[in-house]
Amino acid sequence: MSTVATLTREQVGSIRLNEPPLSAVSLKDELAALATGCQAFDQEDFALAIETFQTIADTSKVHFNISSCYLNLGQNSEAVAALDDALELDKHLAVAYFQRGVTWFLDGGYEEALDDFDNTLVQLRGNQHIDYNQ
């Protein structure tokens, strides 16, 4: 059984994808950062998880993970911003529309929530549930 290396808080702080070209960061470092972020999330260290996820390539799934951290911290406006970023990168990410709709609903943004729930249904394309294996 193989193990996945994780990074210390200091190592996470030293990884900045926005400074060097993306190709300068190895896949191994990126996967280690992802594992560290997921481990931090599981341990409810959401601040470290956010810091770690922000060092990883700019993808919709990473932004969705960041939004989940913000939601656990009760920072709904930051979660919505992260979901906005996720949807900028993937307009078909139904789960992001759904989660943003729930967040809007909880904050009293009923019109925004309705729009996001409608977009969720459109992106589900007739399916009754979100397929996380896609």
Q: Encode pLDDT of 73-115 as tens digits.
A: 999 999 999 999 999 999 999 999 999 999 999 999 999 999 9
CA distance linking residue 80 with residue 98, whole number of Å: 11
Residue 23, judged by CB atoms within 10 A of its CB (0-12, 13-18, 19+), counts as exposed
Q: Encode pLDDT of 20-60 as tens digits.
A: 444 457 889 999 999 999 999 999 999 999 999 999 989 99
Locate 31 and state its tokens.
Answer: 């996967």
pTM (2 d.p.): 0.78
* Cα atoms found within 13 Å of the Cα of residue 80, Cβ hemisphere only: 14
